[in-house]
């Protein structure tokens, strides 16, 4: 091959190497974008779960109030039904069948750590591709740490919500039974 041929071949190899490095930089930049979007979605989910946890807490409080009202209504009915209902109520201590929402205190919501600026560093004044790849890989590492922490927090929130839902289910069963009893009692009186 002539010298020109060798030079063309060398040029080809140089192009191949720079293409490889560019591919690496682009691949890592895309990975960073995925991490960014995953973080946004996770933060949104966390916010919604927070609000829902608060609403579940309100539901629990409402059910407690309903239960308490049902108990009192039952005593009023007793008082109305018989002459000595008042005497009976005087000596009857109010029973609270439902546990107070002792666990309704929401866990201190840890602040979701902020993702450092994960704008993919693809080209800033066209630095050397290797530097870009290294920076991107560092940011990917940081981003993955934050995502894993966020996932754990979301998991805790979901566990808390699940426990609340279990309690709400039990409470609403109790309340349902009490309201039915009261209805029957009132219907008998009528």
Partner 1 sequence: MSRSLLELDKYVQTVLPNDLSRLEDHTDKLSRYLSQGQRILFQEEERDAKSTLRHLKSNLKILGNITAGLSQRDLREANKTIDPMRIRIEKVVHKFQEVCPGPTLLNVESLSHSTSEQDLMMAQEEIGDSRWQNVTMSPLEVQEVITPEQNVALQSAETLQKDLEEIQMLFIELAELAANQNAPIIRLEQHTEQTAQHIGTARNSLYYASKLKAAAFPVAGAIIGGMIGGPIGAVAGLKGAAIVGMGGVSIGAAAGWGIKKFHVWTSDRLHEKDD
φ and ψ at residue 107, rounded to 5 degrees:
-65, 145
Cβ proximity to partner 1: between 6 and 163 the closer is: 6
Q: Work out whether 76 is an interface residue with partner 1 (CB under 8 A).
A: yes
The distance of closest approach from Cβ of residue 126 to partner 1 in the complex, given in angstroms and rounded to an integer, is 20
Cβ proximity to partner 1: between 39 and 122 the closer is: 39
Binding residues for partner 1 restricted to 6-25, rule: CB under 8 A: 6-7, 9-10, 13-14, 16-17, 20, 23-24
Residue 51 tokens read as 């609000």
Distance between CA 21 and CA 123 in Å, rounded?
A: 12
Stretch that binds partner 1, among 3-11, 97-105, 106-114, 116-124 (CB under 8 A): 3-11
Distance between CA 43 and CA 145 in Å, rounded?
A: 15
Distance between CA 77 and CA 64 in Å, rounded?
A: 20
Distance between CA 122 and CA 26 in Å, rounded?
A: 7
The binding track of 104-133 with respect to partner 1, each residue x by CB under 8 A or -, is ------------------------------
Distance between CA 113 and CA 43 in Å, rounded?
A: 10
Helices (H), the chain: 3-81, 85-91, 129-189
Q: Work out whether 190 is an interface residue with partner 1 (CB under 8 A).
A: no
Q: Work out whether 147 is an interface residue with partner 1 (CB under 8 A).
A: yes
Cβ proximity of 64 and 100 under 8 Å:
yes
Q: Which of 103, 106, 142, 154 binds partner 1 (CB under 8 A)?
A: 154
Cβ proximity to partner 1: between 114 and 125 the closer is: 114
Contact partners, residue 172, CB within 8 Å, separation at least 6:
63
φ and ψ at residue 117, rounded to 5 degrees:
-55, 110
The residue ranges that bind partner 1 (CB under 8 A) are 1-2, 6-7, 9-10, 13-14, 16-17, 20, 23-24, 27-28, 30-31, 34-35, 37-39, 41-42, 44-45, 48-49, 51-52, 55-56, 58-59, 62-63, 65-66, 68-70, 72-73, 75-77, 79-80, 83, 85-87, 89-90, 94, 140, 147, 154, 172, 179
């Amino acid at each position: 091959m002539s010298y020109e041929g060798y030079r063309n071949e060398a040029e080809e190899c140089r192009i191949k190497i720079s293409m490889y490095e560019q591919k690496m930089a682009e691949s890592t930049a895309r990975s960073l974008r995925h991490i960014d979007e995953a973080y946004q979605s996770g933060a949104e989910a966390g916010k919604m779960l927070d609000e829902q946890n608060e609403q579940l807490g309100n539901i629990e409080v409402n059910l407690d109030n309903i239960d308490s009202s049902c108990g009192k209504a039952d005593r009023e009915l007793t008082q109305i039904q018989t002459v000595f209902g008042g005497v009976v109520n005087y000596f009857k201590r109010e029973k609270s069948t439902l546990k107070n929402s002792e666990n309704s205190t929401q866990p201190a919501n840890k602040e979701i750590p902020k993702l450092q600026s994960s704008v993919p560093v693809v080209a800033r004044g066209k630095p050397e591709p290797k530097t870009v790849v290294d920076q991107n890989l560092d940011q990917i590492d940081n981003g993955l740490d934050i995502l894993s922490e966020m996932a754990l927090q979301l998991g805790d929130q979901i566990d808390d919500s699940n426990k609340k839902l279990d309690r709400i289910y039990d409470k609403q069963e109790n309340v349902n039974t009490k309201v039915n009893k009261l209805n029957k009692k009132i219907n008998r009186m009528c």
